[in-house]
């Protein structure tokens, strides 16, 4: 087996996670985004930094304006 097959381009896991996240939010609108993000972190073996990025950009409070 070649090691070449195991190498992914930089950011590929995150791209796949974002695509999956989009599909899951449409398929399961009743499920919280944070629960879906947590599942994506495990499913795609994302780093804590990548998980935080997903939470900040796609979490339940993402895009909500601060009324203060």
Quote the Cα angle for 51-20-15, to 5°: 60
2: CB partners within 8 A, 6+ apart: none
Q: Are 62 and 36 in contact (CB under 8 A)?
A: no
The predicted-structure confidence for 24-42, as pLDDT tens digits, reads as follows 999 999 999 999 999 999 9
pTM to 2 decimal places: 0.75
Q: Are 54 and 62 in contact (CB under 8 A)?
A: no
34: CB partners within 8 A, 6+ apart: 55, 59, 60
Q: For residue 10, what pLDDT band results from cuts at 50, 70 and 90?
A: confident
Residue 44: strand, helix, or coil: coil
**Domain residue spans of the chain:** 11-58
pLDDT greater than 50 at residue 68: no
């Amino acid at each position: 087996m070649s090691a070449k097959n195991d190498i992914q381009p930089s950011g590929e896991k995150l791209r796949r996670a974002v695509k999956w996240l989009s599909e899951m939010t449409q398929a399961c609108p009743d499920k919280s985004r944070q629960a879906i993000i947590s599942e994506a972190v495990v499913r795609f073996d994302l780093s804590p930094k990548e998980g935080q990025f997903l939470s900040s950009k796609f979490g339940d409070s993402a895009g909500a304006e601060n009324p203060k």
